[in-house]
Amino acid sequence: MSTQKAEAPKGKLGVLVVGLGAVTTTFMAGVLATRKGLAKPVGSMTQYDKIRIGKGEDKKYLHYKDIVPLAELDDIVFGAWDVYPANAFESAVNAEVLKAKDILPLKEELEAIKPMKAAFDKNYAKRLDGDNVKDVKDRWDMVEQLREDIRNFKKETGVDRVVVLWAASTEVYVPVDEKIHGSLEALEAAMKADDKEHIAPSMCYAYAALSEGCPFIMGAPNTTVDIPAMWELAEKTKMPIAGKDFKTGQTLVKSGFAPIIGTRCLGLHGWFSTNILGNRDGLVLDEPANFRTKEVSKLSTLESILVPEDQPDLYGHGNDEDTQYYHKVRINYYPPRNDNKEGWDNIDIFGWMGYPMQIKINFLCRDSILAAPLCLDLVLLSDLAQRAGRYGTQRFLSFFLKSPMHDYTKGEVPVNHLFQQYVMLKNAIREMGGYEADEEID
Ligand SMILES: NC(=O)c1ccc[n+]([C@@H]2O[C@H](COP(=O)([O-])OP(=O)(O)OC[C@H]3O[C@@H](n4cnc5c(N)ncnc54)[C@H](O)[C@@H]3O)[C@@H](O)[C@H]2O)c1
């Protein structure tokens, strides 16, 4: 992994999003509104956070853009793929996240963002039935057509660089199969053999993006780039990859709150998290095979923060077969709430001499309002990483992700602890700005 200083951006930055739904239209609308001075990009670290540079008397706190050469919001050009033909304006209206007063001033620009035909397979998201779908011979043809879309987008818009962001529906769970996903050669052979069971459409998007010299970000919990074959492709093409699953609401709270329990050496018997959600994401996740993908992602957060093997007295005797605390996550589709997800966490902890206590957290959030700034940060930071010569899994982006990628073939452990992730993020920014990484407490 290179630690070189990032080169300054030249020209425009293309942002191609897979899925023109609630999250991406909210992301686009926010960027366009900010450009016009109609809104503030609240929640975006790249736009607001300050990092300390230098130590002692020399220290100063600077915005990211004053440390590293980030692309400007004015330089972003959007494009998209979706299964449904609605343009970004129609889709933003349908999503009912933003009010008409916030969408109407952007009508012309949003209407101009028309989705290209999707690389789609209904077996991966049974609840979707749009017809804006590519006609493909096999998975390899899917890749070829997507590559052509990217090249055409570059030509038509004249952008200098492109980042591809998956914020489309969660696909059904694809477990890692070393025989197929273990090497690039095997993955390519499976694509050519049209192995529909092991090659999800999202893998075709990722393959196409990396081959066309675009960083690829996986915002859903899909397996896609979390396989050795894709790490190999990212290395070969020298492109950054990041994933999986935007860390927005309940898991953000979990990864910030669990360290309180762990640091204070309190015990945990169980953590029950449930949600109600009524948007199209909720509809897709109502399908058990799609929910399984999300469940695996959401469950992974606690395991590396409160580790039963490290503290058997505290985390080794819950009621999950008496080997560790009981951790359960549920998402319930409930249309009246639309994008306004409500999450409840019940945490059964114990203290001195084992006496039990409870903590309840009730987060009434807005899913896409929380996800939109993450889209912006992930896009700008992966573009930056690419200009700094970084490629492969970008662990410094774990801060933004529920189920951060790590090379399990090398025995790496994912970092889920929010504040450790923040140190990784700050140090990467320092390094890409030509400063030294450090661990001094701010
Ligand atoms: N909002 C959050 O807080 C949050 C957090 C983490 C992850 N996510 C994930 O982000 C994704 C988007 O969420 P959303 O609320 O915008 O969902 P959405 O249903 O509003 O939008 C997803 C869009 O993707 C399209 N799509 C599905 N498969 C596609 C394919 N193969 N190619 C192109 N388009 C495709 C669908 O037609 C739909 O329009 C979901 O996977 C969700 O799980 C969201």
Ordered DSSP codes for 231-297 = HHHHHHHT-EEE-S-B--SHHHHHHHHHHHHHHTT-EEEEEEEEEEE-SHHHHHHTSHHHHHHHHHH
115 lines ligand 1 (CB under 6 A): no
Mean pLDDT lowest among 119-133, 170-184, 253-267, 314-328:
314-328
Q: How far is the CA of 276 from the centre of ligand 1 (A)?
A: 17
Residues of the chain within CATH 3.30.360.10 domain(s) are 250-364
Q: How far is the CA of 417 from the centre of ligand 1 (A)?
A: 26
110 lines ligand 1 (CB under 6 A): no
Q: How confident is the model at residue 441 (pLDDT cuts 50, 70, 90)?
A: low
Mean pLDDT lowest among 29-38, 154-163, 310-319, 421-430:
310-319
- Number of Cβ within a 10 Å radius of residue 211: 17
142 lines ligand 1 (CB under 6 A): no
| Nearest one of 121, 170, 130 to 286, comparing CA atoms | 170
Side chain identity at residue 223, one-letter code:
T
275 lines ligand 1 (CB under 6 A): no
Length of the chain as a residue count: 442
Ordered DSSP codes for 396-412 = GGGGGBSS----GGGT-
- Res. 48: pLDDT tops 90: yes
Q: What is the mean pLDDT of residues 40-63?
A: 94
Which residue's CA is minimally distant from atom 21 of ligand 1?
Answer: 21
16, 17, 23: residue to mutate for ligand 1 pocket, most atoms within 8 A of CB: 23
Helix then strand then coil, % of the chain, to nearest 5: 45, 20, 40
Closest ligand 1 atom to residue 19 Cα is: 24
Which residue's CA is minimally distant from atom 10 of ligand 1?
Answer: 167
220 lines ligand 1 (CB under 6 A): yes
Mean pLDDT lowest among 33-42, 65-74, 190-199, 401-410:
401-410
Q: How far is the CA of 50 from the centre of ligand 1 (A)?
A: 31
- Number of Cβ within a 10 Å radius of residue 144: 17
Residues of the chain within CATH 3.40.50.720 domain(s) are 13-246+368-432
Which residue's CA is minimally distant from atom 39 of ligand 1?
Answer: 21
Closest ligand 1 atom to residue 202 Cα is: 31
DSSP state of 42: T
219 lines ligand 1 (CB under 6 A): yes
- Res. 262: pLDDT tops 90: yes
DSSP state of 52: E
Q: Which residue did the predictor score with more confidence, 418 or 181?
A: 181
Q: What is the pLDDT of residues 9-41, one digit of tens each?
A: 999 999 999 999 999 999 999 999 999 999 999
Ordered DSSP codes for 79-121 = EEEESS---HHHHHHHHT-S-HHHHGGGHHHHHT--PEEB---
Q: What is the mean pLDDT of residues 228-241?
A: 98
d(Cα 103, Cα 159) in Å, to the nearest integer?
A: 25
Q: What is the pLDDT of residues 66-76, one digit of tens each?
A: 999 999 999 99
Q: How far is the CA of 400 from the centre of ligand 1 (A)?
A: 17
d(Cα 186, Cα 426) in Å, to the nearest integer?
A: 37
165 lines ligand 1 (CB under 6 A): no
d(Cα 152, Cα 155) in Å, to the nearest integer?
A: 5
pLDDT at residue 129, as a whole number: 87
3-state secondary structure of 59: coil
Strand partners, 363: 343
pLDDT at residue 321, as a whole number: 63
Q: How far is the CA of 146 from the centre of ligand 1 (A)?
A: 18
Of all helices (H) and strands (E), which one includes residue 347?
strand 342-350
Ordered DSSP codes for 155-168 = HHH--SEEEEEE-S
This prediction has a pTM of 0.94
Cβ–Cβ < 8 Å for 402, 218? no
Q: How far is the CA of 193 from the centre of ligand 1 (A)?
A: 28
Which residue's CA is minimally distant from atom 2 of ligand 1?
Answer: 367
d(Cα 435, Cα 427) in Å, to the nearest integer?
A: 9
169, 207, 340: residue to mutate for ligand 1 pocket, most atoms within 8 A of CB: 169
Q: How far is the CA of 384 from the centre of ligand 1 (A)?
A: 25
171 lines ligand 1 (CB under 6 A): no
- Res. 2: pLDDT tops 60: no
**Preceding amide of 244 cis, omega within 30:** yes
**Structure-block tokens of residue 252:** 């953000």
370 lines ligand 1 (CB under 6 A): yes
d(Cα 358, Cα 348) in Å, to the nearest integer?
A: 5
| Nearest one of 120, 71, 15 to 372, comparing CA atoms | 15
297 lines ligand 1 (CB under 6 A): no
**Structure-block tokens of residue 194:** 């049209």
Query: Using CA atoms in the order 128, 130, 134, 137, what is the torsion angle rounded to 10 degrees?
Result: 50
Q: What is the mean pLDDT of residues 156-169?
A: 97
81 lines ligand 1 (CB under 6 A): yes
Of all helices (H) and strands (E), which one includes residue 216?
strand 216-218
* 13-246+368-432: CATH class: alpha beta
| Nearest one of 123, 128, 117, 129 to 85, comparing CA atoms | 117
pLDDT at residue 319, as a whole number: 62
Ordered DSSP codes for 370-386 = HHHHHHHHHHHHHHHHH
Cβ–Cβ < 8 Å for 29, 98? yes
Q: How confident is the model at residue 1 (pLDDT cuts 50, 70, 90)?
A: very low
DSSP state of 118: B
Query: In angstroms, how far is the first alpha carbon of the chain from the final one?
Result: 26
For residue 340, give every residue at least 6 positions away whose Cβ sits within 8 Å of its Cβ, in sequence order, or none: 278, 364, 365, 366, 367
Closest ligand 1 atom to residue 95 Cα is: 20
- Res. 126: pLDDT tops 70: yes
Cβ–Cβ < 8 Å for 107, 45? no
Answer positive or negative: Cα dihedral of 70, 72, 77, 78: positive
Q: How far is the CA of 270 from the centre of ligand 1 (A)?
A: 30
* 250-364: CATH class: alpha beta
Q: From edge to edge, which strands make up the β-sheet containing 342-350?
A: 326-333, 267-277, 342-350, 356-364
